[in-house]
Amino acid sequence: MPIRTSGLAARTRRLLVIAAVLALAAAGFGVHRAIGGAGRDGDADGGAAAPAAARGPRTGDRIIPAPLSVAAGSGPAFRISERTVVRVGAAGGSGGAEEQAVRVRAVAEQLAEALRRPTGFPLTVEAGAGAAPAGAAEGIRLELDPAMPEETGDEGYRLTADSAAVRIAARTPAGLYRGTQTLRQLLPPQVESRSRVTDGTDWTVASVDIDDHPRYAYRGAMLDVARHFFTPDEVKGYIDRLALYKVNHLHLHLTDDQGWRIAVPARPALTEIGASSEVGGTPGGFYTAADYQEIVRYAQERFLTVVPEIDLPGHSNAVLASYPELDCTRSARPWPYTGIEVGFSTVCPTGDAVFAFTGDVVAELARLTPGPYLHIGGDEVKKLAPADYQEFVRRVSAQVVAAGKIPVGWNQTAAAAGPAGVGLLQYWDANGGHEQEVREAAGRGAKVIMSPAGRTYLDMKYDSSYPLGLRWAGTVDVWSAYSWDPDTLNAALPAGSVVGVEAPLWTETLSSPAELDLMLLPRLPAIAELGWSPKTAHDWERFRQRLAEEGARWEAAGFGYEKRSEVPWPVTAR
Ligand code: ACM
């Protein structure tokens, strides 16, 4: 359901806005300050025919997120055929060589499986060190190389393609996996088809040399499964979309006023009562330990870390309905609460009962979660005195630390952040809100994930007349999602405190995977590129050209997307 405004008027408006932004930036203002309401409802360009149609072998300058460096080769392309094998090199590196080998093989199997579906070729996975045996096809080669430069890091890789082979080398299996996502993008869009492609597509990879590693260690996306519940299979579909763009953290917002979505055996009422509903009054749902662990496993296979969030002391009506003894402030609304107001509920901030409760929840989540983080929420608590609120955050943070995890909190928890408190702040109110507290927390050593609502909240409407989503943080078109810098959006933050970006997708208005897709695509790739690509690659004009080519890829994969006219989609697509 594309929404269009008058192309010419919108374009003129956009050009004026861009000119104004550039002028303000040149005058020393943060770019974000220049983006108020003006121009946000318009689309940039009438969505005319694309110059960058996906014909011929795709070259490395079409990758999203843009790699660190791409050198096009001059030789002939590599062609995948029925003879192509995926070869895995012997695991090098220190410690756990066998485990590494298993993970490398799993990466190779995932790649082979992804290529088998559209090509129909067998793409067997073969192990063996060194070059291919004499007479054997070299094919696609994945190899751990611990001697690669240190700056390659845990997720960097090098991909070289010539007529004989595609070689991906990395220091870790995660780096190899990221490299395989690049390889998918070097192939024609039909490679994403879930069934065999019989239109004569030529499965070629242009000769290229790509050297790549991420700008930030934390690149996340959040899914709110509390306002509307999404099944484990639906969450896996969400993970598939994130993995394509090298996102490495999946934050699950597991609890809110409208529902509690994770089983805690010591607290059975949470799922007997608290999970029974969702926004609008439809039945909710919850994850058993096995469901949750299956999501974690699926994410791990794609080198994403799951960050579970239990949002307390506010956003807790489902807790209060399940355990009324925690409602000492009498803030509960009648159960089920199916509306979308925020800020009204709180659990008791003090007393043994509430910390026994949080202790049970933290222990279970820590038990189920292999990743280092537990998100404790902490946003929008309007019913507590600041001292009580801060004491609560400190005590729950201490429980998380005692359980061996790093507490993450929304930016309201900043006063409790720093050594042994909240370790990671998620800065959503980044248009000046809580600036001083976040700066002070960063000065004490807390790290910051940038999630400015007016840029990264993928539940914000694209424009004011868009049928899905909300607009309390403004509207977020693709240009707005892309056109900011995580390091400098808040100039007050100390250098080095920003560790990454995250795009939250709240679901007050979204109840199906199809609706998630319309909000996620094409904005997720914008945030993913901010998280991965070097700052020097930031270029809206080039980005929207590259994004235009993703449409055909999403169509082949069966993913929905919003065909915003800011992006010059090829006329042949859809
Ligand atoms: C939030 O948007 N309340 C974190």
For the segment 352-377, what is each residue's pLDDT rounded down to a tens digit?
999 999 999 999 999 999 999 999 99
Of 188, 212, 236, which marks where a domain is finished? Answer: 212
Both 194 and 225 in one domain: the answer is no
Q: Is 309's pLDDT higher than 80?
A: yes
pLDDT number for residue 10? 34
Task: For residue 107, tell me if it sits in a domain.
Answer: yes
Both 280 and 165 in one domain: the answer is no
Of 212, 243, 261, which marks where a domain is finished? Answer: 212
Q: Is 43's pLDDT higher than 90?
A: no
pLDDT number for residue 305? 98
Both 391 and 408 in one domain: the answer is yes
Q: Which of 129-133, 228-232, 253-257, 511-515 has the lowest mean pLDDT?
A: 129-133
Measure the CA–CA gap between 452 and 512, rounded to whole angstroms: 25
Average pLDDT, the chain: 89
Predicted confidence band of residue 120 (pLDDT cuts 50, 70, 90): very high
Q: 56-60 — which CB contacts under 8 Å span 24+ positions?
A: 56/206, 57/186, 57/202, 57/204, 57/205, 57/206, 58/185, 58/186, 58/187, 58/188, 58/205, 58/206, 58/549, 59/186, 59/206, 59/208, 60/186, 60/206, 60/208, 60/210
Can 192 be counted among the known catalytic residues? no
Q: CATH number for the domain including 156?
A: 3.30.379.10
Question: Ligand 1 pocket test: which of 251, 428, 449, 459 has the largest number of ligand atoms within 8 Å of its C-beta?
Answer: 428
Residue 457 near ligand 1, beta carbon < 6 Å: no
Task: For residue 567, tell me if it sits in a domain.
Answer: no
CA 452–ligand 1 middle distance (angstroms):
10
Q: Is 519's pLDDT higher than 80?
A: yes
Measure the CA–CA gap between 188 and 194, rounded to whole angstroms: 14
Whether the bond between 522 and the residue before it is cis, its omega within 30 degrees of 0, is: yes
For ligand 1, atom 1, the nearest C-alpha belongs to: 379
The one catalytic residue among 109, 380, 391, 440: 380
Mean of the pLDDT values across residues 119-143? 82
pLDDT in tens, 181-207: 999 999 999 999 999 999 999 999 999
Residue 462 near ligand 1, beta carbon < 6 Å: no
Mean of the pLDDT values across residues 315-336? 98
Residue 433 near ligand 1, beta carbon < 6 Å: no
pLDDT in tens, 364-422: 999 999 999 999 999 999 999 999 999 999 999 999 999 999 999 999 999 999 888 99
Residue 569 near ligand 1, beta carbon < 6 Å: no
In which domain, by residue range, is 546 found?
7-34+215-562
Q: Which of 27-36, 110-119, 127-136 has the lowest mean pLDDT?
A: 27-36
Q: Classify the C-alpha dihedral 238-240-241-243 as positive or negative.
A: positive
Both 197 and 224 in one domain: the answer is no
Mean of the pLDDT values across residues 508-533? 98
Joined together, the tokens standing for residue 287 give: 């994850």
CA angle 193, 196, 202 (to 5 degrees): 80
Both 360 and 248 in one domain: the answer is yes
Predicted confidence band of residue 430 (pLDDT cuts 50, 70, 90): confident
Query: Which residue from 124, 131, 25 is spatially nearest to 84, judged by alpha carbons?
Result: 124
Contact status, residue 316 vs residue 348, Cβ threshold 8 Å: no
Both 128 and 80 in one domain: the answer is yes
Measure the CA–CA gap between 144 and 150, rounded to whole angstroms: 13
Measure the CA–CA gap between 160 and 137, rounded to whole angstroms: 16
Of 212, 243, 272, which marks where a domain is finished? Answer: 212
The domain tally of the chain equals 2
Both 184 and 247 in one domain: the answer is no
Mean of the pLDDT values across residues 254-282? 98
Task: For residue 48, tell me if it sits in a domain.
Answer: no
Joined together, the tokens standing for residue 198 give: 């019989």
Task: For residue 46, tell me if it sits in a domain.
Answer: no
Both 463 and 489 in one domain: the answer is yes
Identify the helix (H) or strand (E) that includes residue 560: none
pLDDT in tens, 476-496: 999 999 999 999 988 889 999
CA 113–ligand 1 middle distance (angstroms):
38
Q: Is 102's pLDDT higher than 50?
A: yes
- The residue type of 139 is G
> Other C-beta atoms within 10 Å of 483: how many?
20
> Other C-beta atoms within 10 Å of 276: how many?
18
Query: Which residue from 511, 525, 509 is spatially nearest to 564, judged by alpha carbons?
Result: 525
Task: For residue 43, tell me if it sits in a domain.
Answer: no
Measure the CA–CA gap between 538 and 345, rounded to whole angstroms: 42
Residue 428 near ligand 1, beta carbon < 6 Å: yes
CA distances in angstroms from 405 to 250, 252, 397, 422, 493, listed in the order given: 16, 16, 9, 10, 25
CA 438–ligand 1 middle distance (angstroms):
15
CA 46–ligand 1 middle distance (angstroms):
34
Joined together, the tokens standing for residue 281 give: 């009054």
Task: For residue 261, tell me if it sits in a domain.
Answer: yes
Both 343 and 453 in one domain: the answer is yes
Residue 380 near ligand 1, beta carbon < 6 Å: yes
CA distances in angstroms from 32 to 36, 93, 395, 405, 432, listed in the order given: 8, 44, 36, 34, 11
Task: For residue 50, tell me if it sits in a domain.
Answer: no
For ligand 1, atom 2, the nearest C-alpha belongs to: 428
> Other C-beta atoms within 10 Å of 23: how many?
11
Measure the CA–CA gap between 20 and 15, rounded to whole angstroms: 8
Q: Which residues of 374-401 are buried (b: 16+ CB within 10 A; e: fewer)?
A: bbbbbbebebbeeebbbebbbbbbbbbb
Both 330 and 431 in one domain: the answer is yes
Both 303 and 161 in one domain: the answer is no
Measure the CA–CA gap between 139 and 374, rounded to whole angstroms: 42
CA distances in angstroms from 330 to 312, 313, 325, 333, listed in the order given: 16, 13, 10, 9
Both 27 and 123 in one domain: the answer is no
pLDDT number for residue 56? 54
CA 31–ligand 1 middle distance (angstroms):
23
% of residues, the chain, pLDDT over 70: 86
Q: Which of 203-217, 413-427, 511-525 has the lowest mean pLDDT?
A: 413-427
Task: For residue 568, tell me if it sits in a domain.
Answer: no
For ligand 1, atom 3, the nearest C-alpha belongs to: 379
pLDDT in tens, 49-64: 333 334 456 666 789 9
